[in-house]
Structure 1
Amino acid sequence: MGREKTFDGVSEFLAVAKRQSVRKAALELEVTPGAISQALQKLERRLGVPLFYRTTRRIALTEAGEALLAKIAPAAQLIETSLGDAVQSSNEPSGTLKLIVERLALPHVIEPILPAFRKAWPNVKVDITVSNLHGDIVASGYDAGILIGSYIAKEMIAVRLSPSFKWAVFGSPDYFRENGRPSVPSDLIKHQCVRFRRPEKGDVYRWEFIENGQNVSIEPNGPITVNDGELMRKIASQGLSLIYSSTFHASRELANGQLEPVLLDYSPGSDGLFLYFTKTKQNQPKLRAFIDTCSELRRL
């Protein structure tokens, strides 16, 4: 296979696989449907396997097409991102800033910062994905993510976006009046607790403490299991059970008196929300502009 032909038909293949339509792929690439079909046929002849099932009404990937897509799509995304980074080498922020953001960051970071950022940098578009499942943000095409610090990989550069907060047990005033307050972690065996199933792992989170200098984790006991933090806090506010959360997550309920913390002296440590990114991304003008906006608003 000649070197000049290595990538022939690849962009057409990716566009059709993405759109599941030759016509829509042609619109995306600004060529004719005939040109798309011809490029796919040449690619299939080179590879010696059909990549698509074709009928008069639809087009779908074959098993070989699925396997090829799984291998080259991440690389294509990385190439596209890298080319975009090269365009960003100018001093003036521009282009699209792609962020993947933990839901907790919406009211505390994104909502207050976004208006100021758009006003300061109108030439920068913002593409936000809300998810607690971050994975490989580079391969997924993101410039940066916002996540709780303890979940961020060590090789990432992290910029704090929130005050420090502590993990603790929370309950409503009514719950504590009726059931008393746990004074040590082992007291929790006598209390009803909301079990939290982590969406990113599917397991039930064990409550973590530091007692006598040792790490202690406790399997919460209770009849209610959820996978949503806001629902968990609402259940606790109704006086049904205790929950394990942070002073930041529960800041609204703490402020209005719906929840009260206990076992703060046994907290495993402080944490926070951070913007994180790789070293290769840190000099992007659009990302630097976002960091500067976050820092400015934190000082106010």
Structure 2
Amino acid sequence: MARPDLFDGISEFLAVVRRGSFRAAAGELGVTPGAVSQAVQTLERRIGLPLFHRTTRHVALTEAGERLLGEVRPAADAIAGSLSNLASLSSKPSGTLRLLTHPIIAREVLTPMLPAFLTAYPDIAVEVITDTKRHDLVESGFDAGIRIGEFIDQDMLTVRVTPPFSWVVVGSPAYFAAHGRPTTPDDLAHHVCLRFRLPPSGDLYRWEFEREGIAVAIDPPGQLTSDDSALLLAMAVAGLGLTYASSQNIRRELADGRLETCLDNFAPAQDALYLYYPRSSRLQPKLRVFIEACLRSMRERSRG
């Protein structure tokens, strides 16, 4: 036998109290007076006590009705208030936006745009977690993440938040003057390479190229290995070797001549950084305005 819904008849009971009659309560609820009466009678049978004194002209609460009203109405008001507060979230950007990304990506994408975003939306708190591990967004309680496109699960919605970039081998003018330039990926075996070790696995990152449409991955020799890409970049600028990086992360060094690229004809297909999020998050106002802010920041930086 199915268990009765504990809330059956409560809405009708409260409507009769508010309106003072079964007919007026029916008008408020959009049902017939008979449906309201039947719901209240069902509630009375479940309780085992009458809730109203009924006459042809008046409806008044019994002692049991007064007690039920005193205990139920505060809870009903609290529920109504909670629903109203939740409804406001659907129209006003507010709440906490939890983001998952990589430390390098946080500096690249979030550092330029967060000051203006936080100023424009004081009711949104942003929590940024930087981690090199892959996490399930939903299971870990994140609203969205930012990653390189090829590493994003296919069931996620995505928005590109950086211009396309290339993966390139770079060195300083001083290094090239002293050691020459490699002309093919195979030449890297005769150069000093600065290698990146992937946290948390500890695997060495293989340098990826394309030769006649075929993907090639090389583990070049190197005197310095680190899981800190900023350190490797600084050492490349200092002329200590070649390193492998995204053109997005080294655009300033390329622009001012501290670094130069080589092996450009073997660069793999371009990639980009994407904001990704589950379908269940797509209607959240806080995420919608954050996406708009990321796109606006990308356009401004592209013009600059």
Shared fold by TM > 0.5?
yes
State the partner residue of 1:231: 231
Does residue 148 in structure 1 map to residue 148 in structure 2? yes
State the identity %: 44
The answer (yes or no) to whether the contact 1:189–1:221 under 8 Å persists in 2 is yes
Q: Structure 2 unaligned runs (5+)?
A: 4-82
Local SS of the residue matching 1:165 = coil
C-alpha separation between the residues in 2 aligned to 1:93 and 1:221? Answer: 51
Once the 2 structures are TM-superposed, how far is the Cα of residue 87 of structure 1 from its aligned partner? 6.6
User: Residues of 1 paired with 2:297 and 2:253: CA distance?
Assistant: 24
Deviations 1:42-96 (A, max 9, x none): xxxxxxxxxxxxxxxxxxxxxxxxxxxxxxxxxxxxxxxxx9xx67752111110
Q: Is the 8 A contact 2:108 2:249 kept in 1?
A: no
The correspondence of residues 105-124 of structure 1 with structure 2, limited to 5 A, is 105-124=105-124
Q: CA deviation at 1:99?
A: 0.7
SS in 2 for 1:223: strand
Closer/same/farther in 2, CA of residues 211 and 282 from structure 1, 3 Å limit: same
| Aligned residue in 2 for 1:247 | 247
Alignment of 1:1-300 (within 5 A): 90-300=90-300
Residue 120 of structure 2 aligns to which amino acid in structure 1?
Answer: A
Distance 1:264 1:200, change over 3 A: farther
- Structure 2 SS opposite 1:286: helix
Unaligned residue ranges in structure 1 (runs of 5+) = 4-82
Deviation of 1:192 (Å): 1.1
Shift of 1:255: 2.1
CA shift at 1:97, angstroms?
0.3
For the aligned residue pairs, the C-alpha RMSD in angstroms reads: 1.9
Aligned in 2, Cα 1:284/1:190: closer, same or farther, shift over 3 Å? same
> In the alignment, is the contact (CA less than 8 A) between 2:163 and 2:298 conserved in 1?
no
Change over 3 Å in CA distance of 1:208–1:88 after alignment to 2:
farther
How far 1:206 sits from its partner (Å)? 1.1
Letter in 2 for 1:289: V
Residue 37 (structure 2) aligns with? none
CA-CA distance at 1:217 after TM superposition? 1.0
Equivalent residue letter for 1:171: G
Larger Rg: 2
| Counterpart residue type for residue 180 of structure 2 | G
Distance (whole Å) between structure 2 residues aligned to residue 88 and residue 204 of structure 1 = 49
> What TM-score do you get using the length of structure 2 for normalisation?
0.67
Secondary structure in structure 2 of the residue aligned to 1:104 = helix
Q: Name the amino acid aligned to 2:193.
A: C
2: CA distance between counterparts of 1:211 and 1:88? 55
Secondary structure (helix, strand or coil) at the match of 2:280 reads coil
Q: State the secondary structure of the residue aligned to 1:215.
A: strand
Is contact 1:88-1:285 (8 Å) kept? Answer: no
Q: Does the CA contact (< 8 Å) of 2:183 and 2:263 recur in 1? A: yes
User: What's the CA shift for 1:252?
Assistant: 2.3
Q: How far apart are 1:107 and its partner, in Å?
A: 3.5
4+ residue segments displaced more than 4 Å:
86-89
